[in-house]
Amino acid sequence: MSRLLLPCAALAAALLAACTQVNVHGDPQAYVRAQDATDAPARLRVATYNTSLYDEADGGLVKRFEAGDDNARKIAAVLQQVRPDLVLLNEFDYDPQQRAAELFQRDYLEVAQPGGGEALRYPYRYLAPVNTGVPSGLDLDGDGKAGDAARGDRARGNDAWGYGLHPGQYGMLVLSKYPIDAAAVRSFQTFKWANLPNARQPRDPSTGKPWYSAAVWPQMRLSSKSHWDVPVKTPLGVLHFLAAHPTPPVFDGPEDRNGARNFDEIALWARYLDGGSPSWLCDDQGRCGGLAADARFVIVGDMNADPVDGDGVPGAIRQLLDHPRVDSTHVPRSEGAGERARGYGFARKGDIATHTGDFGPKAGTLRLDYVLPSRGWKVEGTGVFWPKAGTPDAKISEASDHHLVWVDLAK
């Protein structure tokens, strides 16, 4: 496999995406072979999976992969069973050298795992910096001090642009069987929260005053990790893979700053789907405007928002589920989710069979992970990899507190 790390000096201004944020790895001949094959797929399986493959130490995930990691083997086994053509992995630590991604591909996905299936190869991938663990130099948690190592992990993490103990923790990784259009990738890592129209600026409920100071608010980044539009050249046409991982709407105070941020991180994709050329909607490369009206897309990620239950701001995920460009009528389900939810006994208003996250007997289960295609695709199947307890697949499905969600698309 060859690495396509595109040198900035060789690119024209139209290719600025590749200079600042894009790290693409690929085998140029793999797509040629796929296109020449007589059995080219009539459908595309698209998935999202919060893998919980993160470490509290910088470089810790690489060391775990080098030593042999049981959870990584189970995550790989799930992927080998489901075999998505295109998948977003949330909570996969980012490192600029792509070492973790290389090791996961070579030593885990390309090796048949116990409980998995045949070896699985992805010729293409996309990864880029995220906001988690990146020091802001500002007091974001309102304790009067800017985070630093001497004040402890929690304070340092709270004052990063997105909560994390080192840059890249809880990162994102896109794996694809088909080429990624590196020049057309858009990222919104540095997009300012205040630039979003009608932003839900957090306020102290006891005073009514803004939670963030007048100095901090204009600098505050909206995305807790990043928002990516990754165009993929599939046999069914170009698919815009819209990937994100909004912050959990908890771990804050009465001001509900994380709830507000979660709502608006989801709102950013809704406004992106509105299209047009709004001057405020500019990506990290300086290109402004929303998604083209004729573009086909799939929104993927752990959105940390259940349609009716949980601690999020009401209506957060409905901004996408109810968007006129989104087909949300095909809802993935599993037997394991309903079984686990009934065991915990939490009162839920929504369909427990659609749940994807499991947070134990103190918090229960919720639907948090989504694969939402644009209208115009033919949806041929959906699912959540959450087997019932006691089945052969149950063991590998417990490697993360989230479960893989997939959708099959056709023209």
Q: Position 279: which residue type? A: S
Q: Would 350 be classed as within a structural domain?
A: yes
Do 211 and 255 touch, CB atoms closer than 8 A?
yes
Contact partners, residue 202, CB within 8 Å, separation at least 6: 210, 211, 212, 255, 256, 257, 260, 261
Neighbours of 119 (CB within 10 A): 13
CATH code for the domain in which residue 267 is found: 3.60.10.10
Q: Would 157 be classed as within a structural domain?
A: no
Return left, alpha or beta for 85; rule: phi > 0 is left, psi -120 to 50 is alpha, else beta: alpha
Q: What domain range is 336 assigned to?
A: 17-132+167-410
| pLDDT < 50 stretches in the chain | 1-22, 31-38
Q: Would 405 be classed as within a structural domain?
A: yes
Q: Would 7 be classed as within a structural domain?
A: no
- How high is the pLDDT of residue 38? 41
Q: Would 401 be classed as within a structural domain?
A: yes
Query: Cα(78)–Cα(395) distance, rounded to whole angstroms?
Result: 10
Query: Cα(130)–Cα(26) distance, rounded to whole angstroms?
Result: 21
Query: Cα(32)–Cα(36) distance, rounded to whole angstroms?
Result: 6
- How high is the pLDDT of residue 260? 98
Contact partners, residue 102, CB within 8 Å, separation at least 6: none
Classify the C-alpha dihedral 46-50-56-62 as positive or negative.
Answer: negative
Do 115 and 79 touch, CB atoms closer than 8 A?
no
Contact partners, residue 394, CB within 8 Å, separation at least 6: 336, 387, 388
Phi/psi for 123 (5° steps) reads -70, -20
CA atoms within a 13 Å half-sphere pointing along the CA-CB vector of 328: 16
- How high is the pLDDT of residue 19? 34
- Tokens 């052969």, residue? 392
Query: Cα(155)–Cα(152) distance, rounded to whole angstroms?
Result: 6
Neighbours of 320 (CB within 10 A): 21
Do 231 and 185 touch, CB atoms closer than 8 A?
yes
Do 320 and 299 touch, CB atoms closer than 8 A?
yes
Do 317 and 264 touch, CB atoms closer than 8 A?
no
- How high is the pLDDT of residue 14? 37
Query: Cα(54)–Cα(62) distance, rounded to whole angstroms?
Result: 10
Query: Cα(35)–Cα(352) distance, rounded to whole angstroms?
Result: 40
- Write the pLDDT tens digit of every residue in 341-390: 999 999 999 999 999 999 999 999 999 999 999 999 999 999 999 999 99
CA atoms within a 13 Å half-sphere pointing along the CA-CB vector of 109: 18
- How high is the pLDDT of residue 188? 98
- Per DSSP bridges, beta strands 297-302 and 237-244 are parallel
Neighbours of 41 (CB within 10 A): 16
Phi/psi for 228 (5° steps) reads -125, 135
- How high is the pLDDT of residue 31? 47
Give Rg (Cα) of the chain: 20
Q: Would 160 be classed as within a structural domain?
A: no
3-state helix, strand, coil in the chain (%, to 5): 25, 25, 50
Q: Would 142 be classed as within a structural domain?
A: no
Query: Cα(82)–Cα(92) distance, rounded to whole angstroms?
Result: 19
Length of the chain: 411
- How high is the pLDDT of residue 155? 81
Count of the separate structural domains present in the chain: 1
Q: Would 361 be classed as within a structural domain?
A: yes
| pTM of the entire predicted model | 0.91
